[in-house]
């Protein structure tokens, strides 16, 4: 990207007239391209869904197969490493199998699902394509606790049993799904919850369960106040000084939606997070002074390498 000197040469206001800039994160490389393939449309209506997905939320709509093919083609020149499918609920899209087949020609795929709508005529062709590809297809199933008592109040009545049946089905098709759980329990119950998860998953025949618990903040806010960060809970320039920006999703990915390309899956409801309508436009740096960025900054700091993996459950 053209840096400041060029912009200045092109006649932008002199440094004195430039407003104090907030912290921003450059797109270091487009490693991951996300497709919000079913928009905000989901068969569930989870209480903690940060983008308020629901059966009747049409704020963001479906992407068509042709659109996805177009983006895949455009993405090649960026050397994209992998592709993520999210929603809403991706399995509500009739063309999901065709999209996954097409994507696997280029690279690996992750699908973020709630596991409660997995019709055979969609799972089967994806399983076949996964077997034939050199690339992995990761199925990430969100279940927020190892029991209906813990999960259902958050995700809806009956969703625990339905998602576990989904896990069983994915196993039958040869997948090794990754169960992604938001840590909705107190930290002191961690060990116990993990054990219970393992028991439950083994109970449906998953003999080597893959479980990711999205970490909770292990560092109290006090620590940040000690270091002199303001009470505003915003990322500041100082906070970015010794920070490895590669830990933030926005340094390595973008998400395609029906309403254009956004900086990350978390901020799609913010108009300022719409980066444009081509990957080129969307490659500019992003001002991370949103409240959600502060949370992201904290999580990135504690989950290091797997920070991104810890954040991608929707």
Partner 1 sequence: MPSEPDVRGPLAVFGGVYSNHLALEAAVADARRREARELYCLGDLGGFGPNPDKIFPLLLDAGVEVVRGNYDDSIARALGDCQCGYTDPRDNAFARISYDYSLTRTSPRWRAWMNELPSKIRVRAGGHRVLMCHGSPRRTNEFLWDSTSSTQFLDRLARAQDADVVMVTHTGLPWVRELPGGGLFVNVGVLGRPANDGGTAVRYALLTVDEGSPAVEVVSLTYDHEQLAHEMRAERLPEEFVETILTGWWTTCLEILPAKERARGRF
Residues 42-101 that bind ligand SF4 (CB under 6 A): 42, 44-46, 49, 53, 87-89
Residues 178-237 that bind ligand SF4 (CB under 6 A): none
Q: Is position 134 an interface residue for partner 1 (rule: CB under 8 A)?
A: yes
Q: Which is nearer to partner 1, 139 or 255 (CB)?
A: 139
Interacting partner of 175 out of partner 1, ligand SF4, none (Cβ under 5 to 8 A depending on kind): partner 1
Region class of 4: left (phi > 0), else alpha (psi between -120 and 50), else beta: alpha
Q: Is position 12 an interface residue for partner 1 (rule: CB under 8 A)?
A: no
3-state secondary structure (DSSP) of residue 297: helix
Q: Is position 188 an interface residue for partner 1 (rule: CB under 8 A)?
A: no
d(CA 186, CA 188): 6
For 186-200, the three-class secondary structure string (H helix, E strand, C coil) is CHHHHHHHHHHHHHH
Question: C-beta of 208: minimal distance to partner 1 in Å?
Answer: 6
End-to-end CA distance of the chain: 31
Interacting partner of 44 out of partner 1, ligand SF4, none (Cβ under 5 to 8 A depending on kind): ligand SF4
What are the strands of the beta sheet with 109-113, ordered from one edge?
Answer: 210-214, 178-182, 137-142, 109-113, 82-86, 32-36, 253-257, 260-262, 274-276
Q: Taking each helix axis from N to C terminus, what angle separates 96-104 and 120-132, rounded to the nearest 10 degrees?
A: 10
Q: Is position 282 an interface residue for ligand SF4 (rule: CB under 6 A)?
A: no
Minimal CA–CA distance to 189: which of 140, 141, 145, 142?
A: 145
3-state secondary structure (DSSP) of residue 177: coil
Minimal CA–CA distance to 137: which of 179, 85, 95, 93?
A: 85
Binding pattern for the stretch 67-86 against partner 1, x by CB under 8 A and - elsewhere: ---------x-xxxxx----
Question: C-beta of 271: minimal distance to ligand SF4 in Å?
Answer: 14
Q: Is position 292 an interface residue for ligand SF4 (rule: CB under 6 A)?
A: yes
Residues at the interface with ligand SF4 (CB under 6 A): 25, 42, 44-46, 49, 53, 87-89, 114, 142, 248-250, 263-264, 266-267, 286, 288, 290, 292-293, 296, 314
Residues at the interface with partner 1 (CB under 8 A): 29, 31, 76, 78-82, 106-108, 130, 134-139, 174-176, 191, 194, 208, 210-213, 215, 246, 303-306, 310
């Amino acid at each position: 990207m053209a840096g400041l000197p060029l912009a200045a040469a092109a006649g932008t206001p002199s440094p004195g007239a430039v407003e104090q800039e907030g912290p921003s994160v450059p797109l270091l490389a487009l490693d991951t391209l996300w497709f919000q393939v079913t928009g905000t449309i989901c068969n569930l209506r989870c209480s903690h869904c940060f983008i308020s997905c629901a059966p009747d939320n049409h704020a963001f709509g479906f992407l068509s197969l042709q659109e996805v093919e177009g983006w895949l083609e455009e993405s090649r020149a960026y050397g994209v490493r992998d592709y993520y499918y999210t929603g809403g609920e991706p399995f509500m899209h009739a063309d999901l199998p065709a999209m996954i087949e097409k994507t696997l020609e280029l690279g690996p795929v992750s699908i973020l699902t709630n596991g409660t709508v997995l019709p055979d005529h969609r799972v089967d062709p994806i399983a076949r394509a996964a077997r034939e590809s050199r690339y992995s297809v990761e199925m990430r199933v969100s279940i927020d606790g190892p029991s209906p008592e813990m999960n259902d109040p958050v995700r809806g009545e009956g969703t625990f049993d339905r998602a576990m049946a989904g896990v069983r089905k994915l196993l039958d098709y040869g997948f090794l799904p990754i169960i992604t759980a938001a840590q909705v329990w107190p930290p002191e119950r961690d060990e116990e919850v993990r054990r219970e998860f393992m028991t439950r998953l083994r109970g449906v025949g998953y003999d080597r369960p893959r479980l990711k618990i999205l970490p909770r903040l292990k560092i109290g806010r006090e620590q940040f106040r000690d270091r002199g960060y303001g009470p505003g809970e915003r990322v500041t320039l100082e906070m970015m000084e010794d920070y490895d920006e590669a830990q933030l999703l926005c340094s390595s990915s973008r998400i395609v939606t029906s309403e254009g390309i956004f900086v990350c899956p978390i901020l799609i409801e913010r108009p300022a997070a719409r980066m444009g309508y081509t990957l080129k436009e969307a490659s500019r740096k992003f001002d991370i002074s949103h409240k959600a960025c502060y949370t992201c900054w904290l999580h990135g700091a504690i989950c290091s390498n797997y920070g991104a993996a810890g954040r991608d459950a929707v």
